Structure 1
């Protein structure tokens, strides 16, 4: 889009060269006459190259600045093929010295000529140079989306170049009644001798075109409005829902082009109302400048919401995240305006930036809003080169993450100015792709009814003890649908983690149930996330009783130490107090079955300890049975002597009494409940 994009929002770059031979080129560049400036920069560079070949070297800093300016002249005019030539020379010869910004522009130029693999490599270098602190490096290097992903988007549009396109710029379509209004530099006005030096084309005006029956082509009728069209640029407009008011973009113009202190002519937004002239014919009158315009920054590209309450626009005003951002204001009637104390502008609220989900460090432009989505052009989100068209779905008044609409709607060059009748799946888009008739062309399109891409969620998670925080293994995990149908079961691994093979649709209700012997059953209703990926469900479980603990995956009844007299196995009164706790627990859970294991320390002989521990185990069993517990509920009562020490205190190792005591223990293992 070798004129329109730069015409509608680009910063000037003020670099003054010491050499007087480049002053004219600099002045042209600062006035944004890029086409003429690029020719002079190329002339100077070629002259220097010839001089260098004659062994008369030029100051490197001067040469570098010329390379930058030559590349920028084409980059800002969106001629990526020629921008690549000079950026490539700049990067090749002065790679270590150039700013990160030129690495980015070089990568963008590579994208613009279809060299995606090289562009990706240089974007990685840009990310490295900026230490990932620039939003553009994050967006273009994110792991979740690559250029290959964009290239693989299923084609969803059929495009047709329409009849009214000329060799000049034709862009900015907007529906008006059953017709189409668009902007064109067609050389057919009374001011055809006035040429815009940016690209040697006539100034832009707005025209009215008649749609054919199937809305796939347009026939020029006439100028849209003689009262709106001036001697300078008018472009991109939007109507109120009742089509009695129009908002449009115009140069900062008051009889002549007004420039700021740097010689830049900014853009402004204007409104006009449908009135009747002296012959009762409709005419656009009461043309007003919108109150948030400025002499110091640009405001343009209006888009009115379907309910007429919001006005979206593009600006580089203070508060912009990148080169140009999309902002929004409330359109207020007079009574509402008086009631809002913080409203600075009559009829409108203060401008609000749409935020980092939509806006980037690059350029966001040409918004179009429907009830369902915001469409816009951007070179800051991951794309195919130049400006690409993106769709951000509206969900509960919030904008979702923008999605690239893919080829063939988007191309290696600039694609922008998207409008659509969503009910008919038809619309228009603009592009300066090489297959067009001229500079920028308008294309009609049919949006194909594609099957919605599957949005699925896998389900995984982990289970832990609510009290101790330890992960729990061998938990039976069950996945249920919203209506209670069991879909799948699995068990947690040694780390307490689980994952179901079943995948669910996004935004779907389901339930997970965790069940393990000795624990309260845990049930958790969940809603899957609303984007492709996985939903993680963490559950906490508690044992049925505080006496029940899990040690190394084994459920045990934990009571105080069971003491026996020296060389004895009868149950002492203090031991019976602890054993009664087991009796009570087994009474509360009549299906509980246990086994008893008794252990000694390493002192005395192995055989002696084995026999002593076995007597103590069986004595313990007999006591529990004597308290009314059925013998069948004690699976076994075995002594292991000193064969299962839990510390270093084996034969011949000197240990303290406390260390030996740890090995003298009775364990009550839960077999089932």
Structure 2
């Protein structure tokens, strides 16, 4: 892991100047980014006397920046045991160091032993991505990465689409003698490049569409809906940098429609704002910032705007996206958020992740894009679009080995969206007849042994979304009290034939198929009649009995009793025999249609023994009154055992 990325220096330690107070030589070197010198000075000071816990953390950070992970890990762990001033960012660096020195399994053990320290979302994210990165079931796709011609020997990063061109940030010289001290290079500026037929970037020139400034201008985003450019820039008054009372010179976000049009959108001398992204469909402006209430270092936020003018307070994207590490560079494409994070469970440095946007501004588990995109170094600032002739094309920045400068821009093209293959199921659980959503249903993905891999609860409209690292064989199961159980097994071939983005399920409510009749719980059927003196199942009767078949398919644990009754016309013996034959005929039909015999506990005919009215032998009754007594009930014998009293 390297932290040589020039732009990230602005994120990790945003202070270019510090308040006037007594600091040691180690402190001074540390805050000037001179990590090697800071280590030397802190070691001298340690001999003379004990360092403060904060200085020990500065020393650990310095070791980490210099890739001395063993010494960094030892100090972080020692400070952690004291349970004093460990910030979320330091927890992340602690785990990064353990990963480098002892490996992934040691990190997992640390997380397990200290799970109360970390949020449930972080633990779930880590478990998911560890399994994903270790999975070998699907080969990583080839994205045709190429280092663009526009790169220089300085840092080049933060690409952005601009009409048929690409804007980007760079630390290349531009005539001014002003130098950004931590990098020794020029202050960042924004450039534009032509895009050739192969997607390469060339014919670079300084972008002239923004007001001039001798200080930082970087991370542009062109909002086509507004015909405006959002970008980050140093807080300055002409030729003079502005510092807060705390000694910080932070970055702001501005909006511009030309050299004579500039509006500060987000500005606070103690807070740095970076990587604006404008979502045209909602008017939200996403960005990265290092507010004091972040989950770690730099978090992702959004604000609501009216044509780019801020109309709300910043909203943190929450612990599903933001971690104890640093999150930057939000970009939304096709309902998917792409962003970069240096959280400990990545491949190293900054990695690029994707997360699906869900209902109510929620996000799915972030998915590492894998080694086809990410490296052991810093990878960040991905942009992507769909080209009708080339497929998916885009760019991102990386300081991986083999480049031309500190950070280089890389292009890619592919037939599918980037990312390691996962299994994502999304849809709704509804009742089959009226389409009403079933809220509160528990939906699970299980392996072949029945072990739960992932479990979610449907929302009030029955919507659900599941995503796991790819598996060739899974079982999908949905349950809710008083509803049928949905269960289906999938293999790789069957998953390729279903629309996993609209995978709707149906579950039957027992209350929709059962009613109380004659003080018994019976399957709800329209009344039907056998032909006079007959016991054969007619098409009319079969349509009703098919509801019984469906009930058993939905609730295979039901135990049935078939009861047939006649009216009083005819002899008692004749009516007993006729009703028994009718019950047996119903049983035979149900079994022919797939109802197991052990579901039918009894089939019996009562003849005229259980009349519902006074139409006995010798009593004159209208036909409609006799018909009340001729009936069939399909009784659920174990209803109370299964579902309790109604």
- The interval holding the TM-score normalised by the smaller chain is 0.5 to 0.7
Residue 105 in structure 1 maps to residue 106 in structure 2:
no
- How far apart, CA to CA, are the structure 1 residues paired with 2:66 and 2:580? 78
- 1:70 is aligned, of 59, 80, 88, to 59
| 1:73 Cα deviation after fit | 3.7
| 1:226 Cα deviation after fit | 8.4
- 1:176 is aligned, of 117, 138, 162, to 162
Cα distance change on mapping 1:302 and 1:628 into 2, 3 Å:
closer
Cα distance change on mapping 1:164 and 1:355 into 2, 3 Å:
same
- Secondary structure of the 2:400 match is coil
| 1:159 Cα deviation after fit | 1.4
| 1:406 Cα deviation after fit | 1.5
Please, what is the CA RMSD of the aligned residues? Answer: 5.1
> What is the aligned partner in structure 1 of residue 368 from structure 2?
404
- Secondary structure of the 1:104 match is helix
Residue 210 in structure 1 maps to residue 194 in structure 2:
yes
| 1:262 Cα deviation after fit | 2.2
Residue 435 in structure 1 maps to residue 426 in structure 2:
no
TM-score, scaled to structure 2: 0.62
- How far apart, CA to CA, are the structure 1 residues paired with 2:575 and 2:320? 61
- Secondary structure of the 1:429 match is strand
Task: Please tell me whether the aligned partners of residues 164 and 218 of structure 1 are also in contact (alpha carbons under 8 angstroms).
Answer: yes
- 1:298 is aligned, of 253, 261, 272, to 272
Cα distance change on mapping 1:505 and 1:548 into 2, 3 Å:
farther
> What is the aligned partner in structure 1 of residue 264 from structure 2?
289
| 1:71 Cα deviation after fit | 2.5
Pairing 1:369-384 to 2, within 5 Å after superposition: 369-380=332-343, 382-384=345-347
Task: Please tell me whether the aligned partners of residues 305 and 370 of structure 1 are also in contact (alpha carbons under 8 angstroms).
Answer: no
Cα distance change on mapping 1:420 and 1:103 into 2, 3 Å:
closer
Task: Please tell me whether the aligned partners of residues 418 and 430 of structure 1 are also in contact (alpha carbons under 8 angstroms).
Answer: yes
Pairing 1:648-659 to 2, within 5 Å after superposition: none
Gaps of 5+ in 1: 52-57, 275-283, 334-344, 461-491, 510-527, 559-582, 595-620, 630-668
Task: Please tell me whether the aligned partners of residues 114 and 412 of structure 1 are also in contact (alpha carbons under 8 angstroms).
Answer: no
Task: Please tell me whether the aligned partners of residues 286 and 301 of structure 2 are also in contact (alpha carbons under 8 angstroms).
Answer: yes
- How far apart, CA to CA, are the structure 2 residues paired with 1:420 and 1:248? 18
| 1:628 Cα deviation after fit | 10
Q: Deviations over 1:190-231 (max 9, x none)?
A: 224x332323333211222233331124342x2213863422
Cα distance change on mapping 1:360 and 1:588 into 2, 3 Å:
farther
Q: Deviations over 1:68-106 (max 9, x none)?
A: 21222465xxx4723x24312315666633656544312
- Secondary structure of the 2:61 match is helix
Pairing 1:444-483 to 2, within 5 Å after superposition: 444-449=411-416, 455=424
- How far apart, CA to CA, are the structure 1 residues paired with 2:577 and 2:181? 95
Cα distance change on mapping 1:409 and 1:399 into 2, 3 Å:
farther
- How far apart, CA to CA, are the structure 2 residues paired with 1:586 and 1:33? 101
> What is the aligned partner in structure 1 of residue 36 from structure 2?
39
Task: Please tell me whether the aligned partners of residues 195 and 203 of structure 1 are also in contact (alpha carbons under 8 angstroms).
Answer: yes
Task: Please tell me whether the aligned partners of residues 548 and 556 of structure 1 are also in contact (alpha carbons under 8 angstroms).
Answer: no
- How far apart, CA to CA, are the structure 1 residues paired with 2:380 and 2:415? 19
Task: Please tell me whether the aligned partners of residues 225 and 280 of structure 2 are also in contact (alpha carbons under 8 angstroms).
Answer: no
Q: Deviations over 1:403-428 (max 9, x none)?
A: 32222211222211111222241111
Q: Deviations over 1:101-146 (max 9, x none)?
A: 5443121245568943444333434525x1x447534432459955
- Secondary structure of the 1:70 match is helix
Cα distance change on mapping 1:169 and 1:214 into 2, 3 Å:
same
> What is the aligned partner in structure 2 of residue 10 from structure 1?
12
- How far apart, CA to CA, are the structure 2 residues paired with 1:449 and 1:189? 39
- 2:350 is aligned, of 387, 412, 415, to 387
- How far apart, CA to CA, are the structure 2 residues paired with 1:12 and 1:346? 26
> What is the aligned partner in structure 2 of residue 81 from structure 1?
67
| 1:181 Cα deviation after fit | 1.8
- How far apart, CA to CA, are the structure 2 residues paired with 1:200 and 1:310? 36
> What is the aligned partner in structure 1 of residue 541 from structure 2?
none
Q: Deviations over 1:551-591 (max 9, x none)?
A: x9865699xxxxxxxxxxxxxxxxxxxxxxxx999988863
- Secondary structure of the 2:240 match is coil
- Secondary structure of the 2:75 match is helix
- How far apart, CA to CA, are the structure 1 residues paired with 2:384 and 2:501? 29
- 1:121 is aligned, of 109, 113, 117, to 109
> What is the aligned partner in structure 2 of residue 571 from structure 1?
none
- How far apart, CA to CA, are the structure 2 residues paired with 1:146 and 1:285? 49
| 1:326 Cα deviation after fit | 2.5
Q: Aligned pairs, how many?
A: 488
- How far apart, CA to CA, are the structure 1 residues paired with 2:181 and 2:213? 17
The structure with more radius of gyration: 1
Task: Please tell me whether the aligned partners of residues 67 and 87 of structure 1 are also in contact (alpha carbons under 8 angstroms).
Answer: no
Task: Please tell me whether the aligned partners of residues 167 and 193 of structure 2 are also in contact (alpha carbons under 8 angstroms).
Answer: yes
> What is the aligned partner in structure 2 of residue 329 from structure 1?
303
- 1:163 is aligned, of 149, 161, 180, to 149
- How far apart, CA to CA, are the structure 2 residues paired with 1:114 and 1:207? 42
| 1:268 Cα deviation after fit | 0.3
Residue 248 in structure 1 maps to residue 236 in structure 2:
no
- How far apart, CA to CA, are the structure 1 residues paired with 2:368 and 2:486? 35
- Secondary structure of the 1:422 match is strand
| 1:353 Cα deviation after fit | 3.4
Cα distance change on mapping 1:123 and 1:164 into 2, 3 Å:
farther
Q: Deviations over 1:38-88 (max 9, x none)?
A: 233211344368x5xxxxxx65x517544421222465xxx4723x24312
Cα distance change on mapping 1:171 and 1:12 into 2, 3 Å:
closer
- How far apart, CA to CA, are the structure 1 residues paired with 2:5 and 2:92? 21
- How far apart, CA to CA, are the structure 2 residues paired with 1:408 and 1:507? 26
- How far apart, CA to CA, are the structure 2 residues paired with 1:44 and 1:407? 38
- How far apart, CA to CA, are the structure 2 residues paired with 1:271 and 1:670? 69
- 2:252 is aligned, of 256, 268, 291, to 268
| 1:258 Cα deviation after fit | 1.6
| 1:293 Cα deviation after fit | 1.9
Task: Please tell me whether the aligned partners of residues 57 and 76 of structure 2 are also in contact (alpha carbons under 8 angstroms).
Answer: no
TM-score, scaled to structure 1: 0.60
Gaps of 5+ in 2: 430-478, 523-556, 564-573, 586-603, 612-634, 638-646
